[in-house]
């Protein structure tokens, strides 16, 4: 798992640079300089992954169209929706992923409205007069006849270590006969102790989102701007990948797969903890 997280966290290797790629009507990739190779919107990333638009990007394919979910079309698109310039994704791993996705027995697709993917947003705030970067995690939820993005979790550096429960001999506790004293010794937890979280149950986990919103309501936190956006996908059985936006010259630009991990038992939970900054 250490190797997986290292690959996930650090992109240092460089693989072949692709310029001017596009997809022919047969689903093969050729170099003719068409701008169609740029995946300009995240919705377009979904359509290309699933094979739901024409090679030039001008026509949306629906189920009644004979090219809808065409395997050769999807194979061509999968060649250009990876970051081919800076990503360290191993070519063999990428080939195995493509084979899994395009399986003739069990082909797999992304679904915008299904669980299994979420957004990670870096945003700048002013907290008590100091500039701070928060990581906001958002997911889609049904709302009325449609869907909406909602804030699910937050990671905020000023809150990082304020609930570190002491362990071992340093842990404070209430005597098991405290009830015989009418719990008057709660003074230890609420007045005398510098770590009142010591007196909570062992499974206690602080709700940082509630704390963040409370500080915002007190006007201690003020939003400034968004600095970065990425997306995490667990919708493909046995796989995780990350999608980032690349703004650079050339045609291998837009929303592209930047990290790819084949999941073993327990890996999904470990990676999610890493993403949510809970390690």
Is the pLDDT assigned to residue 15 strictly greater than 80?
no
pLDDT tens digits along 213-261:
999 999 999 999 999 999 999 999 999 999 999 998 888 899 999 999 9
Confidence band (pLDDT; 50, 70, 90) for 208? Answer: very high
CA-to-CA distance for 56 and 25, rounded, in angstroms?
9
Q: Which residues pair with 136 in a beta bridge?
A: 121, 154
Each domain of the chain, given as residue ranges in start order, spans: 2-114+234-275, 117-161+206-226, 168-199
pLDDT tens digits along 1-10:
444 444 444 3
For residue 278, the model assigns a pLDDT of: 67
For residue 25, the model assigns a pLDDT of: 46
Token reading at 4: 């997986």
For residue 72, the model assigns a pLDDT of: 95
- pTM of the full predicted structure? 0.83
DSSP 3-state assignment of 230? Answer: strand
Burial label for 235, CB within 10 Å (0-12, 13-18, 19+), is middle
Exposure on the CB side of residue 238, measured as CA atoms within 13 A: 8
For residue 9, the model assigns a pLDDT of: 42
For residue 36, the model assigns a pLDDT of: 63
For residue 92, the model assigns a pLDDT of: 96
Quote the mean pLDDT of the chain: 86
pLDDT tens digits along 31-87:
444 446 789 999 999 999 999 999 988 899 999 999 999 999 999 999 999 999 988
Angle between helices 71-78 and 42-50 (to 10 degrees): 130
């Amino acid at each position: 798992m250490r190797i997986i997280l290292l690959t996930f966290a650090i992109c240092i290797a460089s693989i072949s640079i692709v310029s001017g790629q596009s997809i022919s009507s047969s689903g093969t990739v050729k170099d003719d300089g068409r701008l169609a190779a740029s995946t300009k919107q995240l919705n377009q990333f979904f359509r290309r992954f699933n094979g739901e638009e024409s090679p030039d990007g001008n026509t949306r394919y629906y189920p009644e169209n004979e090219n809808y979910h065409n395997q050769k079309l999807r194979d061509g698109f999968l060649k250009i929706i990876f970051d081919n310039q800076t990503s360290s994704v191993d070519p063999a791993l990428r080939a195995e992923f493509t084979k899994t996705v395009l399986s003739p027995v069990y082909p797999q697709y992304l679904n915008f409205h299904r669980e299994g993917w979420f957004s990670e947003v870096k945003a700048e705030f002013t907290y008590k007069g100091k500039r701070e970067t928060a990581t906001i995690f958002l997911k889609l939820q049904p709302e009325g006849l449609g869907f909406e993005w909602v804030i699910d979790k937050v990671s905020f550096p000023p809150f990082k270590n304020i609930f570190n429960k002491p362990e071992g001999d340093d842990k404070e506790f209430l005597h098991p006969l405290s009830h015989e004293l009418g719990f008057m010794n709660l003074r230890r937890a609420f007045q005398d102790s510098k770590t009142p979280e010591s007196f909570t149950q062992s499974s206690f986990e602080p709700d940082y989102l509630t704390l963040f919103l409370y500080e915002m309501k007190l006007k201690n936190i003020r939003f400034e701007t968004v600095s970065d956006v990425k997306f995490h996908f667990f919708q493909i059985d046995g796989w995780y990948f990350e999608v980032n936006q690349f703004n650079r010259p050339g045609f291998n630009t837009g929303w592209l797969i930047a990290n790819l991990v084949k999941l073993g038992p327990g890996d999904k939970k470990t990676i999610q903890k890493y993403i949510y900054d809970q390690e």
